[in-house]
């Protein structure tokens, strides 16, 4: 499986970004694993339109496009570095379920019934989510067809 962003594309992306220690400190093998995990997470989302070729392995390219959009490659990189930094969507949801924190008499609480959409979708990076959002299908749309 080839991820949306190759190791060389990711290296170029991170060479122009600040705070890249999780990427810089990772082995080549772990970087590739993170990019593959990111690709799988991205492909679980519900995108607008249709695959360019029904037989293609991944969700992109789509429609009349023949290449993966740069935003999707960048999102793959952002998600990969998030995974390398040990951020996990499941753990984020679990952390959000902690409704009270406190030290001594000082306590804070929050509404635990709300989990941000990108976390619920399995994308623990808001940067990656913002890059992917323009490609997502509106969840209020319902496709109806007659057989």
Total number of domains in the chain: 1
pLDDT at 90 over 90: no
Backbone angle region of 49, left / alpha / beta, with phi > 0 → left and psi within -120 to 50 → alpha = left
Residue 70 lies in a domain: yes
Residue 146 lies in a domain: no
Residue 144 lies in a domain: no
Residue 67 lies in a domain: yes
Residue with tokens 């001594």: 104
**How far is it, in rounded angstroms, from Cα 18 to Cα 125?**
15
Give the chain's mean pLDDT: 86
Residues of the chain with pLDDT > 90, as a percent, come to: 67
Residue 26 makes CB contacts below 8 A (sequence gap 6+) with 34, 84
pLDDT at 8: 98
pLDDT at 144: 54
Residue 20 lies in a domain: yes
Q: Largest alpha-carbon pair distance within the chain?
A: 64
Residue 143 lies in a domain: no
**How far is it, in rounded angstroms, from Cα 63 to Cα 72?**
15
**How far is it, in rounded angstroms, from Cα 45 to Cα 40?**
9
pLDDT at 34: 97
Residues of the chain with pLDDT > 70, as a percent, come to: 77
Residue 145 lies in a domain: no
CA distances from 116 to 127, 139, 140 (A): 13, 15, 17
pLDDT at 122: 86
pLDDT at 3: 98
Strand partners, 47: 136
42-56 tens-digit pLDDT: 999 999 999 999 999
**How far is it, in rounded angstroms, from Cα 8 to Cα 52?**
25
111-139 tens-digit pLDDT: 555 567 777 888 999 999 999 999 999 76
Q: What is the pTM of this model?
A: 0.80
Boundaries of domain holding 15 = 7-135
């Amino acid at each position: 499986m080839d991820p949306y962003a190759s190791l060389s594309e990711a290296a170029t992306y991170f060479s122009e970004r600040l705070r890249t220690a999780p990427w810089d400190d990772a082995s080549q093998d772990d970087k590739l694993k993170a990019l593959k995990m990111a690709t799988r997470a991205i492909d679980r989302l519900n995108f607008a339109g249709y695959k360019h070729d029904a037989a293609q392995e991944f969700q992109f390219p789509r429609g009349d496009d023949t290449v993966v959009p740069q935003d999707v490659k960048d999102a793959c990189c952002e998600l990969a570095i998030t995974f390398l930094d040990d951020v996990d969507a499941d753990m984020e949801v679990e952390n959000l379920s902690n409704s009270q924190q406190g030290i001594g008499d000082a306590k804070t609480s929050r509404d635990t019934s709300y989990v941000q959409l990108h976390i619920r979708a399995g994308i623990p990076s808001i940067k990656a989510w913002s890059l992917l959002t323009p490609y997502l299908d509106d969840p209020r749309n319902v496709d109806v067809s007659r057989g």
